[in-house]
Structure 1
Amino acid sequence: MMAERGEAVDHLQRLAAQLEAHAFQVCLRSPAGLFPRLHVINPMAPARTEDVLAAYEDDGEWWFWLSWAGRIGHAEDVATAAERVASVLHVIRR
């Protein structure tokens, strides 16, 4: 279980770096007894937030998931996952 948590955190940290590069605010949370999650905030609309989890399927492949069980992308394709999180948070361009 600890190895799985560590790998999930690694994937979420890579996603966090990608999202921060696009001006999102992120906070990695890893509470005891719960799956690690990345809390993502659109700073231009702070009420728009989402939690992202990283989990693996039965075949051993890691994926990013939205908190409401929406699979958003393969953990190796961080750029696509970040784009999908941005679309969920309705990024406002100025």
Structure 2
Amino acid sequence: MAVTDDTGTAQTAITHLTHLTERLREHGLRVRVASRRPPEPAVVNPDTPALSENVHAAPEEGTWWFWWSWNEKIAPVAEADDAARRIRHVLTPAARSR
């Protein structure tokens, strides 16, 4: 994963994360965005606030991806709805219907 402090790269990441934030909120998740570089919104399950995760957007080999905090790919940024579903799945307790 390649992350730089390039202003254009940071702005592209913000654009992708803004789109993902909209999808996450549609899936009933809360999103807190801290102003840091690179931006990493904290996604929280409001039903189980202990379940939260930071995500970020960054390019790898010419393709932009959403990433977990442990640097595993979630989904390409073109698939923001799929990324939101995956994040919701991870932030849902195992005992509840996913």
What TM-score results when the alignment is normalised by the length of structure 1? 0.89
> SS at 1:76's partner residue?
helix
Structure 2 stretches lacking a partner, 5+ long: 1-5
Deviation track 1:6-45 (CA, whole Å, cap 9, x = no partner) reads 00000000000001111111012231xx311111000000
Deviation track 1:29-76 (CA, whole Å, cap 9, x = no partner) reads 231xx3111110000000100001000012x11000000112010001
Task: Report the aligned-residue RMSD.
Answer: 1.3
After TM superposition, what 4+ stretches of structure 1 lie above 3 angstroms from structure 2?
A: none
Separation of aligned partners in 2, 1:52 and 1:70:
10
> SS at 2:41's partner residue?
strand
- Which structure has more relative contact order (CA 8 Å, sep 6+)? It is 2
Matches within 5 A, 1:43-62: 43-58=46-61, 60-62=62-64
> SS at 1:16's partner residue?
helix
Name 1:6's counterpart in structure 2.
11
Alignment length (residue pairs): 90
Q: Which letter maps to 1:68?
A: W
What TM-score results when the alignment is normalised by the length of structure 2? 0.85
Identical columns (%)? 36
Structure 1 stretches lacking a partner, 5+ long: none
